[in-house]
Amino acid sequence: MKESRSKQRLWFNAPKAPLLIVLSGPSGAGKDAVLTRMKETGFPLEYITTLTTRAQRPGERDAVDYRFISVEKFQKMLDSGELLESANVYGNWYGVPRQPAKQALDRGQDVIVKVDIQGAATIKRVVPQAVLIFLTPPSPEELALRLKERHTETAFDLALRVKTAEAEIRQLPLFDYVVLNQRDEIDRAVSQIKAIITAEKCRITPREIKL
């Protein structure tokens, strides 16, 4: 009987397989703010910094918010297979470096990446067992207001991004979960993402992530 109980404890205490979590959503949904808040709470995740060729915005920190690199360097990494996914978004390239994600998963660490809708679709094809979370504002009007408050888009760009977001909403069936990011309720969105990760760790049949 003691041996049986001992085996049971070992079984339930066995390390859980690491997850690849993909956070996506339209421009202005609050992906950066949510991830920053998650880091501040100390939640145990490996945060993979996205590469981009776009210009650095005021207040952004290189190698923290994004890794800002040249188009030439990005193309070289793309050609050599160093990117897990890549996409051209509003005229700029974005991509997730493969090696840091693989190294963290090999250590048994859960990994989270931030990508646009194109990137999420690519990762879903490459890593079908990834956990895809769609972060969204409550309405197109709220999205437009957030974009306007950033002071980084022209009127034309703002209208384009809102129109694109409306099309991206139709991609929801691609995702496993949706999280509503209400204004001034970022902690609620963060708590929901943490709950999703915790629930995934309780699955009877764990996801098998292979990069």
pTM: 0.87
The Cα 105–Cα 100 span in angstroms is 9
Residue with tokens 């490459």: 126
Q: Where are the domains of the chain?
A: 16-201
pLDDT tens digits along 98-134: 999 999 999 999 999 999 999 999 999 999 999 999 9
92-97, strands of its sheet edge to edge:
67-68, 51-52, 92-97, 83-89
pLDDT tens digits along 44-98: 999 999 999 999 988 899 999 899 999 999 999 999 999 999 999 889 999 999 9
Burial class (CB in 10 A: 0-12, 13-18, 19+), 97: middle
Task: Provide the residue type at 169 as one letter.
Answer: I
The Cα 72–Cα 91 span in angstroms is 15
Q: Which fold has domain 16-201?
A: Rossmann fold (3.40.50)
C-beta atoms surrounding 109 within 10 Å: 14
